[in-house]
Structure 1
Amino acid sequence: MSNRIKQEFHMKKEPVRLNKYLSEAGVCSRREADKLIESGLVSVDGKRAVTGMKIVPGQTVKVGKKVVSRQDEMVVLAVNKPAGIVCTEEKREHNSIVRFLNYPIRITYIGRLDKDSRGLLLMTNNGDIINKMMRAGNFHEKEYKVTVDKEITPEFLNAMGNGVHILGTVTRPCKVEQIGKYTFSVVLTQGLNRQIRRMCEALGYKVKDLFRVRVMNIHVGKLKEGEYRKLTDCELNELYELLKGSSNEPVQNKQNRQRRRNSDRQEENCGE
């Protein structure tokens, strides 16, 4: 572990505004935190919290009856993953992303990038955010820059955008745009196994390079390969807004529950 990271995690924490404290703990955005505080749902050391107050180490913060501990501080990292690094927590994998980052606390990836792919990988210690961002039923966007082995044609772009038959299903329609003779960008809202590579192969193309540039509102930007950074407060607040209404359940569970509701309504209607 580098000295810089050690200092970052072992330095004495300074007082922090309550809304920022709640946001960093993964409770909600700062704006929503202010609403919670104003509604009287937040307490500090057993007393009703006040908007704008600051929290120091050792104080007890509750939202309703749930204690929000400083140990629960949410971490979300943007990583520029190099090719050859594997998205796995398997300890026997020497090139795992966990070994590569060697981060001081336990974090895991939000959506995989396969071993040969590069670019933006988000990592966090917050399981709820992982589920809400990655469930296909939430239709959250991921953008990629792809280079293939043959000249791109209008027919190829049209087929990619309308859906390709792979893995026993047809992929969702997606945004595709040519940006070079052999390069195109694609925005997906689902994440089938090696989806882009399989789509290209089904159309007679082979991927030479695949680079993820964006996940929802988070861009890789100028982050150098192999480096990482924490998300900014602005990015986190925007992310919270985008995740409003997102489910952390698998699509199948949601569909089954909807079927049960529909069945119940039909039974009620039949009884009238």
Structure 2
Amino acid sequence: MNKRLNKYISDTGLCSRREADKLIEQQRVTINDKLPELGTQVGPGDKVRVDGKLIGAVAADKSDRIYIAYNKPIGITCTTERHIKGNIIDAIGHKERIFPIGRLDKPSEGLILLTSDGDIVNKILRAENAHDKEYEVTVNQPVSDRFIQRMSKGVPILRTVTKPCVVRATGKFTFTIILTEGMNRQIRRMCEFLGYEVTKLKRVRIMHLDLGKLRPGQWRNLTEQELNQLNNAVKGSSKTAQAPTPQKTPAKPEKSLWSAQNKRPRFERKNKPV
């Protein structure tokens, strides 16, 4: 069966489809020693090379794919760029080429999945698939009932309103939150809007996968059962991203827990670098 060139490359775990398109545009890719165009199809027997290196096709049953769970420590950056100090690839030191599914901020810790399977990455990351992610959070002041209610209903950040979510107090300064979306630094921004500062953030679960006994810095391969469950969970996932429908922010936001002298804006206008 023929396959689009960018998908053929991304399926090998070399890079994403978008990055593959850039490689093609930069004339770093050849098919049978000829320069292809964007959208070119790769057929059985075709030899694809990137920077002169032969790229083998993915096994039909994906038996050659890597799927691991990693307990990311604080200070590790979720990037595949090896020149960045403390990048997640060097931290794991896996012999195969893998990349993270999603990300965790540098000051956060906990569960993150890594793989060499480009298809499953795309499916898991689709926001409309609403896959659960659970976090344990510690903040700098006592967690009130009002705080829990506001977090649960949705908070205006980044010119939208977060989706309703499950939030439960677990201690004087701690709570758990289950999200089905993944905005940039979402939990930290939500807490900040309500006058709280996150002092510790740990992801403990993604869908049916949890940290288990993994210590910070440790990783393990997913079991066959876990992988089957994962594939079933994303089976109906769309292959192309749908543009999110922006939610209107309240015309007159309810007074938050901020003190009168706090001058921070209620709505953040752009993402801040990690």
- TM-score scaled by length of structure 1: 0.67
Larger Cα Rg: Structure 1 or Structure 2? 1
Q: Are 1:96 and 2:87 matched, yes or no? A: yes
Q: Of 66, 75, 78, which aligns to 1:75?
A: 66
- Contact 2:137/2:175 (<8 A) preserved: yes
Residue matched to 2:174: 183
For residues 70 and 131 of structure 1, the distance between their equivalents in structure 2, rounded to whole angstroms, comes to: 18
Deviations along 1:82-134, whole A, 9 cap, x unmatched?
00000011222120001111111110001100000000010000111111111
Q: Give the AA of the match of 1:103.
A: H
For residues 172 and 97 of structure 1, the distance between their equivalents in structure 2, rounded to whole angstroms, comes to: 29
Residue matched to 1:264: none
Q: Are 1:241 and 2:265 matched, yes or no? A: no
For residues 135 and 228 of structure 1, the distance between their equivalents in structure 2, rounded to whole angstroms, comes to: 24
TM superposition shift of 1:199: 0.3
For residues 243 and 86 of structure 1, the distance between their equivalents in structure 2, rounded to whole angstroms, comes to: 26
Residue matched to 1:169: 160
Q: Of 114, 131, 146, which aligns to 1:123?
A: 114
Secondary structure of the structure 2 residue equivalent to 1:78:
strand
Change in 2 beyond 3 A, CA 1:67/1:229: closer
Change in 2 beyond 3 A, CA 1:139/1:207: same
Secondary structure of the structure 2 residue equivalent to 1:177:
strand
Q: Give the AA of the match of 2:66.
A: V
RMSD: 2.1
How many residues get paired? 191
TM superposition shift of 1:72: 6.0
Residue matched to 2:128: 137
Residue matched to 2:76: 85
Q: Are 1:212 and 2:209 matched, yes or no? A: no
Q: Give the AA of the match of 2:238.
A: S
TM superposition shift of 1:237: 1.0
Secondary structure of the structure 2 residue equivalent to 1:123:
strand
For residues 132 and 81 of structure 1, the distance between their equivalents in structure 2, rounded to whole angstroms, comes to: 22
Question: Map of 1:6-25 to 2, 5 A cutoff?
Answer: none
Q: Of 189, 213, 219, which aligns to 1:222?
A: 213
- Contact 2:58/2:64 (<8 A) preserved: no
Q: Give the AA of the match of 1:150.
A: Q
Q: Which has the higher helix share?
A: 1
Residue matched to 1:160: 151
Q: Are 1:106 and 2:106 matched, yes or no? A: no
TM superposition shift of 1:203: 0.3
**Same amino acid, percent of matched pairs:** 48
- TM-score scaled by length of structure 2: 0.66
Deviations along 1:18-59, whole A, 9 cap, x unmatched?
xxxxxxx99xxxxxxxxxxxxxxxxxxxxxxxxxxxxxxxxx
Q: Are 1:196 and 2:191 matched, yes or no? A: no
For residues 72 and 87 of structure 2, the distance between their equivalents in structure 1, rounded to whole angstroms, comes to: 11
Structure 2 residues not aligned, in runs of 5+: 1-10, 13-56, 246-274
Secondary structure of the structure 2 residue equivalent to 1:212:
strand
Give the 4+ runs in structure 1 shifted more than 4 A.
69-72
TM superposition shift of 1:69: 5.8
